[in-house]
Structure 1
Amino acid sequence: MAWARAPRRVPFWWPLALCGVAGALLGGGYGLLADREYAASGYVVVRDTGEGADPAAAVGLAQAFGRIATGDAVLTTAQTDAGVSLDRLRDGVRASTSPDAPMIEITGTAPRAARAAEMANAVTRALIAYGNDAADSTGARLTVFAEAQPSAAPVSAAPLVRLAVGLVAGLLVGLLVLLVRTNAGDPPGPVTTVPAQPRDQSGRHDPSEERERERAAPRPRTDRPMSGRPG
């Protein structure tokens, strides 16, 4: 005789597991398909050539040149040398300065390490040419401190890291879904019904009617039959 198997109930934590697997797959897939990003940095030094040169003045000039390093006046000259479009230079090159030293850091990012170094060096050369052309008015000279070199390791997250991030994000979403399902499945509390109070014609509470209802209600008998004792 074949016994019919009872249907198995789906575990209550299935949204957590499903969202975790989905998040891990999405994160790992994005890590494999996304382009790797490489970064390369070059450095420019600013020297104050005016009479009575002040180191603090050189720092201020470096910060001023750092703000225009990613402007169109410099990038338009650098785009031909870098071999990329102007929009690509705007997105892939950034400049930063130090509050203590007259130095400008030019960093390029690209899917290839060699391209990142080429972009950074092109902007570095264009900035130096732009600054030295205005040396008579600014009293500053710009020179290369260090050229950008191709990086051996990417700066973007590795596929395993993105997989872990996707897994954590999926688990958080699954936990939220699980909490919502748990709160939605709670049974409602008992409903207490309050009997209506008798009221007179004016709508006010009438205590006389309530006393009449109490008198008319049957009362339980409290007397017990007496049992006779045999003589």
Structure 2
Amino acid sequence: MTESPAQPAVPGRFRRLRPASVRPSWWPLPVCVLLGAACGFSYGTLATPEYTATSYAMVTAGKDIDPAAALGYAQSYGRLVTSDATLSYAKGAAGEPVRELRTHVLSETSPDSPMIAVTGTSADPGRAADIANAVTEAVVVSSGHVAKDTGVKLIKFSHAVPPADPVSPSVPLGAAVGASAGGLTGGLVLLVRPRRGRRDTGAQVPAPAQGGAATPAEERELVR
């Protein structure tokens, strides 16, 4: 009788090998950074540049009026900058209807100074300055109609000039902001996604029984 060939020795431990094609666990981070940078670059390239110009008006108190009252009137006149009455008066000089003009005007006041800042925005720098000057002139004229009753006077402090540079983000800045936002999003994805179980990270199979043959339970574990 011929002897059967010897069976190869079975190693003491079996390891589940991780496929080489599995993506690293941190792949969402660089993907989100690249997507964010691409979005920011596209926005900076395709977005229409926006310009702003600002003119200033100041409230002055009369002889018999408390100077502190000028601060309160400055707050009131600052709210009137975007009112229908003011914008209706300014629409001729600004060259825009009231509805469009309201979206291109912003007023700011300070609790420490009787100053009103009127800012005009437009895709054209000259138009932005025209809007700011027209609205400031309108609110100054409106305040003059009630100057005798209020005891304060609103005067134009400075004239708006066409800006040289837009306020909209440039292409490099847009790409940098987009990449930062993408990195933040990728980091959040890594934090909130479910973690893999220990079985997926290389669990070990117990050593087979003596004699070199694996038990049925071990064979089932290997098949998995």
- Identify whether the pair has TM-score above 0.5, normalized to the shorter chain: yes
SS of the residue 1:107 aligns to: strand
- Could you tell me how far apart the structure 1 residues matched to 2:35 and 2:133 are? 42
SS of the residue 2:68 aligns to: helix
- Could you tell me how far apart the structure 2 residues matched to 1:174 and 1:101 are? 45
Cα contact 2:56–2:116 (8 A) shared by 1? yes
Residue of structure 2 aligned with 1:33, choices 36, 40, 46: 46
Cα contact 2:58–2:115 (8 A) shared by 1? yes
Alignment of 1:134-213 (within 5 A): 134-178=146-190, 183-184=195-196, 186-187=198-199
> Aligned AA for 2:54?
S
Equivalent residue for 1:76? 88
> Aligned AA for 1:108?
G
SS of the residue 1:58 aligns to: helix
Equivalent residue for 2:132? 120
User: CA-atom RMSD, angstroms?
Assistant: 2.5
Q: Which runs of 5 or more residues in structure 2 are unaligned?
A: 1-18, 204-224
Equivalent residue for 2:31? 18
Q: CA deviation at 1:151?
A: 1.2
Return closer, same or farther for 1:45/1:173 CA change in 2, 3 Å cut-off.
Answer: closer
Return closer, same or farther for 1:14/1:144 CA change in 2, 3 Å cut-off.
Answer: same
> Aligned AA for 2:45?
L
Q: CA deviation at 1:141?
A: 2.0
Cα contact 2:108–2:118 (8 A) shared by 1? yes
> Aligned AA for 2:55?
G
Equivalent residue for 2:98? 86
Equivalent residue for 2:71? 59
> Aligned AA for 1:53?
I
Q: Percent identity?
A: 46
Aligned pair count reads 183
Cα contact 2:65–2:151 (8 A) shared by 1? no
SS of the residue 2:113 aligns to: coil
Q: Looking at CA atoms only, which structure, 1 or 2, has the larger radius of gyration?
A: 1
SS of the residue 1:142 aligns to: strand
Residue of structure 2 aligned with 1:45, choices 58, 63, 82: 58
After superposition, what is the alpha-carbon deviation per residue over 1:39-81, rounded to whole angstroms, capped at 9, x for unaligned? 11111122223x5232112222222111111111101111121
Q: CA deviation at 1:26?
A: 1.0
Q: Relative contact order, CA 8 A, sep 6+: which one is greater?
A: 2
1:133 matched to 2:135:
no
- Could you tell me how far apart the structure 1 residues matched to 2:61 and 2:104 are? 30
> Aligned AA for 1:101?
S
- Could you tell me how far apart the structure 2 residues matched to 1:185 and 1:162 are? 39
Return closer, same or farther for 1:174/1:102 CA change in 2, 3 Å cut-off.
Answer: closer
